[in-house]
Chains A and B, each alone.
Chain A
Amino acid sequence: MDPTQYQKFKNIVATALELPSDKVKDFLDEQCANDNNLRHEIELLLNQDMQDDFLEQSCVEVPSKENNKPLLKGQIGRIELDNLIASGGMGEVYAGTDKVLKRAVAVKVIKSGISLSSKGRADFLNEAQILSSLHHPNICQVFDFFEEDGKDILVLELVEGKTLRQILNNKQKIQPLEIAKQIIAALVVAHERGIIHRDLKPDNVMVTDKGIVKILDFGLARFDEFKEAPTSLDRNNNQTQIAGTPGYMSPEQALGKRSTTATDLWSFGVLLCELISGTQPHPKDSTVNELLERTKIAKYEIPSSLGSAETNLIKQLLSAKAKNRPTARSVLNEISRIQGLPKTRFRWFLGVSLFVICLFSIWKYTTDLTVQKDKANLARIEAEKLVNFMLHDLHPQLNSLGKLGLLESASKEVLNYYDNLDPKQSYRTLDKQAFALLKISSVFDAQGEIQKALDTLYKARTLFNQLLIEQPGNNNLRLNHGQTLMNIGELLSITGNYKDSVIEANMAVDISGQLIIDFPPETISNVTPNAHDRWWLHLRSLYLLSDTYRRKGDLNKAIEILSIAMNLAEPALKKLPSLASIYADIIYMQCNTNYQIHVNQEVLDICIKSAKLSEQLYKNKPDDFRSTFVHAIDLGFLANIYRELKQPQKAISTINKAIELSKKLNQWDSDNQTVENDLVSNLNVKGQILYEQGEFQASQVVFEEAYQIIIRLTKDNEELHFAHNKLYTEIYLNKLKNAQVTANFLKSKGMKTRDLLALFTELENRMKNKLNEK
């Protein structure tokens, strides 16, 4: 609205307010005429439920800094105290700076009146030690613990954000399961080291602006346990009672018994219920005493609006007996499972795939029943039906959900099954086997088991070769053969075996090239394979070939192949719109390859085009795994180019979008390593943007998050891009010795991308600086 429009708007509202209520409608009809927007704005304003005394009392709330005079001033040890950020019954918390390590910290001073028995103190010290050795992204880290002037002092990670209590009170939009998952992930780590929180509740859970959960005050409730009885709470008014600890306390705590790890799971159950439904499993206006009584007998009501999986989980968590509650780890698994079902209609697939896996394990026995041949034969027929079902029906569905991992154990069973067939049987099903192997390899690939995927593909290649000798004109076989070679080439390329990759890719280009001769994209016929499959394979093979040359550093060759691909793809797309995704891939490759040569406006334009294409595909299918994944990659790439072109604002907003998508993908399939690696790539870009903007600390936080993921990924996966990302984080976190090891590995593989070379330079510079410092 501009000032002129506002004047009109204001006058209509003011007059409407002066009119008797029954005249208002006619007046608005007359004034707004056809301007529906204006009318809508006016009605929004008029129909508010405003308190009468709004703004009539001149009272403003100011930030609390000024009126809280810290009791501690100046410095404790090497920590300079800044301001008091919270105070309460147990002590005070200050923001401060560790002057040696140059990091922001929180300093918690426990009031001297509150002290523990020597046993309790020893236990607490022990826990504080364990906690300080514990680096978990969801636990507020303990840096130090010591005593000064008879006060116990904890030095903690400074967490910025809102408490879950504030978020729930404000009815802020959140992803309940995502938050729950992060909380339980923290509990898994703590519990497995014997640390109990003892007072888990929304007030103790912080959520940062980036949506990262940090649990505070681990084990601190120990100070409470030895303090006074909960009767002191009785004096609170009713409103604060429901928000306080009694609602979350476990039956054993209410009965004054010892806490165990299961205690936290009860509290988590209450929290989970509140996260999902917005309310605790207790009546809203309960008093503290009522809550305590309910807790003692483990009485609760879960709102009926919750889904059955969620309800069951909460019921288990709220078991009266501590020993009946599930462990944190199994709860984590269950939440991931529930989360993995983005829509209820997909739940069916999960059920079915679990069913298939069960059946496959039964065959193992039935196929062994060589004595009862009939039964074994019957089992075989059933088995083949299931393999068919799995590969033709389940595979594509699960693939689009990014949940191929669910087929992993079934795939292994299928392989076993084929291995155990007698030669005659085996020969008859050769084509089915070859096809099954091709699909199964993609399951292994998605799980990051590259060697297994390759082995499976090599087997499939042998079978296809064998089959093609007998039926050289079978185009379905040729297509699948080409696909197999292309997949082999892709895996070889990402693991740095460029020489062999080029051979496989070239063969795939040849095979698919023959398939599109006399088969233009607009061909409509019942002949299989159809035009889309043929053209897709050809374009994809060209894409792979150029990608391999790019990785190798042979950029001229890469560009040459890309122009061939473009010349084919552009006209083909007009005739066959389903080629849009491979077309987008080719544009992405153009963007990426040109980027290796130089960064300028022209490259930026190509990359923007690429991101726009993938955005379109993503918008058409927001629930599709691949389109989301591709768009996340494109945005990450684009952000990096903005960074290089010194457009930090665009870089940051783009990378934030990319990270959001990566995280969504990671939620869909938390085991998919490629997705996790992409998340790391995007975090690295963000880290570097922040670093270059002088936001050193923020960048370290981002790199640390990336590092935690990539360390896990590179443990047993040789993919070069994983190593590349590892190097990235190691350099920017100044872990220079580790970085050198990683760099040497990458140098030995001959990978020469622009980003990698930039990393090598950065590493060299840092090493030099380090030497100079010495």
Chain B
Amino acid sequence: MKNKSIQVTLLLNRWQNGDHDALDELIPQVYQQLRELASAQLNRNKKNSIQCTELISEAYIRLIDATGVDWKNRTHFYSMAARTMRRVLVDRYRKSNANKRGNNKTLLTYNEDLQSGSSQAIDLDNIEQALQKLEKLDTLQAEIVTLKFFGGLTNKEIALVQSVSERTVNRDWSVAKLWLYRELQGS
């Protein structure tokens, strides 16, 4: 475990120093870790919802030797993990739901166990579709949403990762929320 975290930390630092190959090695590690953590969380909670930021924090603790990383690199890890989180979720759960309209199999009356997800939880399929739509209109804004929603990064951290001003992040985020809200109401 220790070895692994040292290895991953090294990869992160190499990536931050401009070694792009390091990122190619880093992402699968994070992907795998997030995937396992997501399954564990689902089993633990007996719900169908996933707390993304919790998972990323956990992945960070498991994968990274915190003593060897500065805060900037930590932020970059989170931003990368946020994107990876989105991919994990989509890859893993979209397939089973590929045909949502035609494939919405339910058959029972007493499915109370299955419907007790948090009321705040947002349907993965819906948010994913909305985000893809937003990406076509404004890539940066969609990226901000990904980092914020899936990664739980603060606006300041996002500003750093995206090399934009914090005000831009604030503005984009506040409009994105309204825009997504409307999209999700429609779905």
Q: Which chain A residues have a beta carbon within 8 Å of chain B's beta carbons?
A: 1-3, 6-7, 10, 13-14, 17-18, 44-46, 48, 50, 53-55, 57-68, 85-90, 93, 95, 106, 108, 140, 156, 158-163, 199, 201, 203-204, 206, 209, 216-217, 240
Contact of A163 among B89, B97, B106 (CB under 8 A): B106
Chain B residues with CB below 8 A from A89, complex form: 110
CA distance A65 to B98 in the complex (A): 13
Contact status of A60 and B138, CB under 8 A, knowing A86-B106, A160-B102: no
Q: Which residues of chain B (108-139) have a CB below 8 Å from chain A?
A: 108-114, 117-118, 120-125, 127, 136-138
Are A66 and B93 also in contact (CB < 8 A) when A50-B177, A162-B104 are?
Answer: yes
Cβ-closest 3 pairs across A and B: A88-B110, A86-B108, A14-B171
Distance, CA A64 to CA B45, complexed state (A): 12
Shortest Cβ distance from B117 into A: residue: A61
Q: Provide 6 A-B residue pairs closer than 8 Å at the C-beta atoms, listed in order of the A residue.
A: A13-B178, A58-B150, A62-B93, A93-B107, A158-B105, A203-B109
| A3 contact set on B, CB distance < 8 A | 136-138
B123–A60 touching, CB < 8 Å: yes
Report yes or no: B118 in contact with A59, Cβ–Cβ below 8 A: yes
Return chain A residues, CB-CB under 8 Å to B2: none
How long is the Cα–Cα vector from A324 to B41 in the complex, in angstroms?
55
Complex interface: chain A residues within 8 A of B182 (CB)? 44-45, 48
Q: B residues within 8 A CB of A58?
A: 51-53, 149-152
Residue of A50, A59, A65 near B52 (CB, 8 A) is A59
Q: Does B103 contact A (CB under 8 A)?
A: yes
Q: Is the CB of B180 within 8 A of A14?
A: no
Taking CB atoms, residues of chain A closer than 8 Å to B125 are: 63
Closest Cβ of chain B: how far from A753's Cβ, in Å?
Answer: 33
Q: Would you call A53 and B120 a contact (CB within 8 A)?
A: yes
Contact B110 A86 (CB under 8 A): yes
- The answer to whether B112 and A216 touch across the interface, beta carbons within 8 angstroms, is no
Asked if B163 is at the interface (CB within 8 A of a chain A CB), the reply is no
User: Are A106 and B138 CB-contacts (below 8 A) given A62-B42, A68-B114?
Assistant: no
A206 x B52 contact (CB < 8 A): no
Select from chain B the residue with minimum beta-carbon distance to A205: B109
| Residue pair B43, A106 in contact (C-beta under 8 Å) | no
C-alpha spacing A96/B96, complex, angstroms: 15
Asked if residues A86 and B175 are in contact (CB atoms below 8 Å), the reply is no
Q: Check A217 against B101 for contact (C-beta < 8 Å).
A: no
B46 at the interface (CB under 8 A from A): yes
Determine whether the beta carbon of B121 is less than 8 Å from that of A59. yes
Contacting residues, chain A, for B17 (C-beta < 8 A): none
Which residue of chain A is the closest to B39 with respect to CB atoms? Answer: A66
Q: Output the nearest chain A residue to B53 by Cβ-Cβ distance.
A: A58
- Check A61 against B172 for contact (C-beta < 8 Å): no
Q: A58-B52, A60-B127 are in contact. Are A1 and B102 (CB under 8 A)?
A: no
A61 partner, pick from B101, B124, B145, beta carbons under 8 A: B124
Residues on A with C-beta less than 8 A from B97 are: 63
Residue of B nearest to A161 (CB): B104
Hey, which chain A residues are within 8 Å of B179, CB to CB?
45
Q: Does B48 contact A (CB under 8 A)?
A: yes
- Contacts of A90 on B, CB cut-off 8 Å? 110
CA distance A200 to B127 in the complex (A): 35
Within the assembled complex, what's the spacing in Å between the Cα atoms of A203 and B53?
Answer: 35
Across the interface, do B181 and A216 meet the contact criterion of CB distance under 8 Å? no
Least Cβ–Cβ distance between A377 and chain B, in angstroms: 67
Q: How far is the CA of A731 from the CA of B46 in the complex (A)?
A: 49
B20 interfacial contact with A, CB 8 Å: no
> A63-B48, A66-B93 given as contacts; is B175 within 8 A of A14 (CB)?
yes
- In Å, the complex CA distance between A96 and B121 comes to 29
Q: Which residue of A lies closest to B152 (CB)?
A: A58
Smallest Cβ distance from B178 to chain A, in angstroms?
A: 5
